[in-house]
Amino acid sequence: MKKTVTILLTAALVQFAAVNGKIYGATMGNIDEKQVKGTIEACKAKFGTDKDFKDRLERGVTQTAALWTANDGTPAEFQKFCLDNFVADDSELERMATQIEQNLESIFGCFNKMSVDLSLPIHTDGPEPTKLDEMFGAYSPSAHFQDDMFEQKIAFVIVLNFPFYTLEEKITAGAAWSRQQWAYARIGDLFTARVPADCQQALAAQLSAADNYIANYNIQMGHLLNDKGAHLFPDISLITHWGLRDELKTHYNEGDEGLEKQRMIYQVMRRIIDQSIPACVINNPDYEWNPYKNTVTDKNGKTEMHPAPEPDTRYDYFLKNFKAMKQADNYNPRYPTAISRAFDESMEVSFEEIEKLFDTFCSSELIGEVAKIIEQRVGRKLEPFDIWYDGFKSRSTMNEDDLSVQTRRLYPTRKAFATKGMPAILKQLGFSKEKSDFICSHVTVDASRGAGHAWESAMRMDNARLRTRIGKNGMDYKGYNIAVHEFGHNVEQTITLHDVDHYIMKGVPNTAFTEALAFVFQARDLEFLGYSNNDKTKEAMQTLDIFWGCYEIMGVALVDMYCWQWLYEHPDATAVQLKEQVIKTAQKVWNKYYAKYLGEKDSPILAIYSHMIDVPLYLPNYPYGHIIHFQLEQQLRGKTVATEIERIFPAGRLTPQLWMRNAVGSEVSPQPLIDAAAAAVKVVR
């Protein structure tokens, strides 16, 4: 049965259904244009031609036909289905929408909770996961949801009565829509494709495997050797790339000793990128490794080993992600590539718009001015790893070891952060005790096996999850900094689930907006520890910090975007070919935007980000989120942060620009940040 459906769907993708000259989308089935028109006329004869539902009727019938296959019924059965199930009465339609939202919360909420529970052994700290743990973690409880909804005809009832509106239509008409109309439109986004369950399960398994690979990719820093045979780092285990990057940031005020450590971390990153890293040193403290000479000895430093390099595993996961996501292309007539699904569907911002925004920003001559300030502050010419310069933050002048002593004392366990840390943060931001208690009661803190993340709840009776690394001696500063960031996500997740008026509108326009609030929290991490900054240049420094952070992550995002374009042009590429292309793309982007200021041509450093491997096409959300973050910070200035958060975030899943206009009075744009950075340069100078 499934093979038959697959053949039917694939063969019919090139057809289109049209009504009154309007093409509403590709058809996957056996209902032709004449039959669509006949069904619409039959429905009008039964329900009348009321202008309030005429457009909805035409869209609904047309879009239902586009998804109806021979296995769903004959053309006559299709027409009977539409006549029996179209709802013309407004009050009945509202009741139907309420019923759909209630049932979806139950379904999605339980699916999500099952995924959280099944993934606990591979996501959280504890005994080494077994093969069975990994198998359960790769299982997707929701894989059959779409198949089941179409087989039960529930999906067709929804498509028929709540038609899909394109992004362009949402942008042009959405500003005048009521909240109810927006909820109806979001219900219409539910079923725009028919991806088979086996395809969905294969993708879930592949992404779980990639996530597990990254979560266990640690470098044993205490076993790195320089050319003199000396150890530069204590015996710590750092995950790539986040842990390595954050460690690099901590050494800006340590003179030549700190510079040597930064250069060693950069060399480790290069080895990871080009896969010349010896496979045996990954997550393994039994070897001593010189990343410059790429030599390995036993842990006593006596016997030289000759281990094999990592066999392009990094790029094999990247390639398998692509192939798993590409399998869904044939079943997505509206969003026929993973790229279009990531941008047009998920972000609701086009690839071209994002690319233009990033190019405009990274081409700004102001970058050179900021780079000169950094050179003056570090007292040397900049090097590639200075894309992570952290000196505009107030913590850059503080010793991280001292901060870790404080965070370990305050938060020796995950329970301590949950019961003391989170309420203290919310109190400082101005939340009432009642609201703080509510939010904290809906967030569960876990010790993370990987770098850390926030996992939202999909039903109001469940909790969001906060994950960060918590060592045996407690939460060090890196873990605390991540925890504050993830708690920002959790606050957004809780507010936009519980305070939004329609379940289907829960959340934010795209993940960049939740990243923006996480950045708001993270920027105040020292304040939450009791440190104050009365420096007159505080605002200017914060602006430059966001500006430089945007500059760094935009290049990374462009590399990810261009590599996915290349993969679609070369779908039969091997892991070796992909590795070569990723490095080539990273070097090309580097040479265009970075080499001029950061002192090296052909650096591959932009290819180090782990999200390229474990969360495909997520990276553009970070720089977009930084831009939103800056505009939010401008809105928050002089106001109670909690009050603004509670005003802004219940807007839910509007389109990005409409949400932003409601939040700060203007659309998402890099220009406010560029203008403020230009003023900040003058202040800091």
Helix (H) or strand (E) holding 255: helix 255-274
Predicted local distance difference test score (pLDDT) of residue 29: 65
CA pair distance 237, 253, nearest whole angstrom: 22
CA pair distance 515, 513, nearest whole angstrom: 5
Predicted local distance difference test score (pLDDT) of residue 347: 96
Tell me the pLDDT band of 396, cut-offs 50, 70 and 90: low
Encode pLDDT of 285-304 as tens digits: 999 999 999 999 998 877 88
Predicted local distance difference test score (pLDDT) of residue 300: 81
CA atoms in the 13 A half-sphere facing the CB of 550 = 33
| pLDDT score of 490 more than 90 | yes
CA pair distance 134, 480, nearest whole angstrom: 28
At 409, give phi and psi (nearest 5°).
-70, -45
Encode pLDDT of 9-65 as tens digits: 222 333 333 333 333 344 456 899 999 999 999 999 999 887 778 999 999 999 999
Tell me the pLDDT band of 535, cut-offs 50, 70 and 90: confident
| pLDDT score of 558 more than 70 | yes
CA pair distance 425, 487, nearest whole angstrom: 9
Reported for 419-427, long-range contacts at CB under 8 A and 24+ positions apart, including other chains, are 421/483, 421/528, 422/487, 424/528, 425/484, 425/487, 425/521, 425/528, 426/491, 426/642
| CB-CB contact of 423 with 572 (8 Å) | no
Reported for 250-258, long-range contacts at CB under 8 A and 24+ positions apart, including other chains, are 250/390, 250/400, 252/378, 252/389, 252/390, 252/391, 252/396, 253/391, 253/396, 253/397, 257/232
CA pair distance 282, 542, nearest whole angstrom: 36
| CB-CB contact of 592 with 561 (8 Å) | no
Structure letter (DSSP) for residue 418:
I
Tell me the pLDDT band of 88, cut-offs 50, 70 and 90: very high
Sequence-distant (≥ 6) Cβ neighbours of residue 557 within 8 angstroms: 354, 358, 619, 620, 622, 623
Encode pLDDT of 330-368 as tens digits: 898 889 999 999 999 999 999 999 999 999 999 999 999
Encode pLDDT of 514-530 as tens digits: 999 999 999 999 999 99
CA pair distance 648, 491, nearest whole angstrom: 13
Predicted local distance difference test score (pLDDT) of residue 190: 96
Reported for 399-406, long-range contacts at CB under 8 A and 24+ positions apart, including other chains, are 400/250, 400/477, 400/478, 403/477, 403/480, 403/529, 404/476, 404/477, 404/478, 406/477, 406/529
Examine residue 570 and say whether the peptide bond preceding it is cis (omega within 30 degrees of 0). Answer: no
User: Nearest-CA neighbor of 606 among 375, 251, 237, 266?
Assistant: 266
- In this prediction, residues 211-224 reach a mean pLDDT of 96
> Could you tell me the two tokens for 332?
């997505």
CA pair distance 521, 339, nearest whole angstrom: 30
3-class DSSP string for 328-396: CHHHCCCCCCHHHHHHHHHHCCCHHHHHHHHHHHHCCCHHHHHHHHHHHHHCCCCCHHHHHCCCCCHHH
Predicted local distance difference test score (pLDDT) of residue 385: 98
Tell me the pLDDT band of 399, cut-offs 50, 70 and 90: confident
CA pair distance 301, 303, nearest whole angstrom: 6
Encode pLDDT of 446-486 as tens digits: 999 887 899 999 999 999 999 999 999 999 999 999 999 99
| CB-CB contact of 583 with 244 (8 Å) | no
Q: Give the burial string for 635-671 (b: 16+ CB within 10 Å, else e).
A: bbeeeebbebbbebbebbbbbbbbbbeebbeeebebe
At 305, give phi and psi (nearest 5°).
-105, 165
Percent of the chain beyond pLDDT 70?
A: 95
- In this prediction, residues 409-426 reach a mean pLDDT of 97
Burial tier of 401 (Cβ tally within 10 Å: 0-12, 13-18, 19+) = exposed
State the pTM of this model.
0.87
CA pair distance 620, 451, nearest whole angstrom: 19
Alpha-carbon radius of gyration of the chain? 26
At 277, give phi and psi (nearest 5°).
-65, 130
| Three-state secondary structure call for residue 570 | coil
Burial tier of 18 (Cβ tally within 10 Å: 0-12, 13-18, 19+) = middle
Which segments of 379-472 does DSSP mark as H helices, in order? 400-410, 414-416, 422-429, 433-441
CA pair distance 627, 550, nearest whole angstrom: 7
Mean pLDDT, the chain, integer: 93
CA pair distance 575, 317, nearest whole angstrom: 8
The neighbour count for residue 266, using CB atoms within 10 Å, is 21
